[in-house]
Amino acid sequence: MFERIEKATRTTIVSLGAGAAAAFCAYFSMYAFRKPFAAATFADQPALFFDLDYKTTLLIAQVLGYALSKLIGIRMIAEFGRTGRAGAILTLIGISWLALILFGAVPAPWNIGFLFLNGLPLGMIWGLVFSYVEGRRASEAMGALLCASFILSSGVVKSVAILVMDWGVGEFWMPAVTGALFFPLLLLSLWLLERMPPPDDRDIAERTARVPMRARERASFLRNHGVAMLLLVSGYVLLTAIRDFRDNFAAELWIAMGQGGIASVFSASELPVMIVALTALGALTLIRDNMRALLAMHGIILIGALLLGLSTLAFQHGWLAPFSYMILTGAGLYLAYTPFNAMLFDRMIAALGHVGNAGFLIYIADSSGYVGSVALLLYRSLAAPSMDWLSFYISCAYLTAIAVAVLTVCSAAWFHFHVGKHHVRPSAA
């Protein structure tokens, strides 16, 4: 009997490990359809509406589509069941790829709208992929690996995009070609995800059942826990805005620091960032008590905010080289940003004992965050057009570090005093 139990345990661990790797690869592949165009500067294109430069207009168009998708996802992802997820992911990414083909085929500036259509389906992918890993005792480890995908993939995809342009592919066709290269990995990862076992009885006992949330359940949750969501989402808006700015204008930032045109610099700077975030967040699996884990995540967000601000201060005083600065600010940003995309809301649902799903909360945060991202792009182009990229990034880093630190401390205090005293710890198994 013990041999059968041990064999079943080993099988489950292998299945979950393969599932976590598949989730990583699925979302990694999505970035190949979303981010490659950011590797180009489109410097030859004239300014457009209200003197917005062409690349900023492309970014705003895509982010508006992505943000609208997140708004739709508040309902769609909250109510989506376990059937048809892989087909939905493949269909949505396929639509985004067709938009990239049209972006290459239609001359500028008439192709800008296709970046909106490219972003529109992609905003749903995170919630669909995360639904495979949430509500498990191993969700932190699996979620950390999933989050690592968008830390590493953005740099890798831009490196691949530059290589594609080195092969002679133009800036406008490069995004579609780069995306096509990742279709085999996407198909394999979706096939593996569909073979993951569902959460078992122990998962449900410790993390609560994960079920679709209808309008009444969503309204009840926000009524009871709206203060915490406001504090958390306010910080996340700032983190999303600067994280997107760093990601989308990495080419310009590297040029400003004398490292432009080097393909390897995009992925080389993000690999240490991924390792730091993966290690810190994966370690939360060791904390079984959901409220303690939730407060520990607040601590990680606070550390990330402090690292973002202090590394910027050190860079301005000449104590950090450009490469080290990009690594440290990236580590700070992703330590603070990443928990919102998986583990924070997963543990929040479990700590509150509220039957539902974390996808609903993630999409409230994401839809708000991308509104902040668009606002920052517009501010940079309209209110501070003469400010160079690096100086603007440094100013945003200071503002984000201070505001996120304050909001995180307030959120932690709310959970400690309003929820912690009523929290029931899981019994030892």
pLDDT of residue 2: 35
Same fold, 13-207 and 213-420: yes
The superfamily (CATH) of domain 213-420 is MFS general substrate transporter like domains (1.20.1250.20)
> How far apart are alpha carbons 224 and 214 in whole angstroms?
16
Q: What is the DSSP letter of 42?
A: -
pLDDT of residue 6: 42
Q: What is the DSSP letter of 356?
A: B
- Answer yes or no: are the C-beta atoms of 173 and 51 closer than 8 Å: no
Task: Please state the pTM of the whole predicted model.
Answer: 0.73
Q: Which residues make beta-bridge pairs with 210?
A: 356
Q: Using one digit for the tens of pLDDT, what is the confidence trace for 253-276?
A: 888 888 766 666 777 777 788 788
Distances (CA, A) of 402 to 163, 238, 302: 38, 11, 10
Q: Using one digit for the tens of pLDDT, what is the confidence trace for 208-226?
A: 665 667 778 788 888 888 8
With a cut of 50, list the residues of the chain below it in pLDDT: 1-14, 424, 426-429
pLDDT of residue 199: 77
Distances (CA, A) of 253 to 248, 263, 265, 382, 394: 10, 14, 12, 19, 11
Contacts of 331 (CB under 8 A, 6+ apart): 272, 273, 276, 277, 304, 307
pLDDT of residue 207: 64
Question: Where are the domains positioned within the chain?
Answer: 13-207, 213-420
Q: What is the DSSP letter of 352?
A: H
SS3 210: strand
pLDDT of residue 158: 85
Nearest residue to 77 (alpha-carbon basis) of 359, 367, 369: 359
SS3 364: helix
Using omega within 30 degrees of 0 as the cis cutoff, is the peptide bond preceding 109 cis?
A: yes
Residue 405, both tokens: 């630190």
SS3 175: helix
Residue for token pair 């406008």: 172
Pick the CATH number of 13-207 from 3.40.50.300, 3.40.50.720, 1.20.1250.20, 1.10.287.70: 1.20.1250.20
Residue 129, both tokens: 């992929």
DSSP letter string over 20-37?
HHHHHHHHHHHHHHHSGG
Q: In residues, how long is the chain?
A: 429
> How far apart are alpha carbons 280 and 297 in whole angstroms?
9
Q: What are phi and psi of 25, to 5 degrees?
A: -70, -35
CA atoms within 13 A on the CB side of 255: 11
Q: What are phi and psi of 51, to 5 degrees?
A: 65, 20
> How far apart are alpha carbons 171 and 163 in whole angstroms?
11
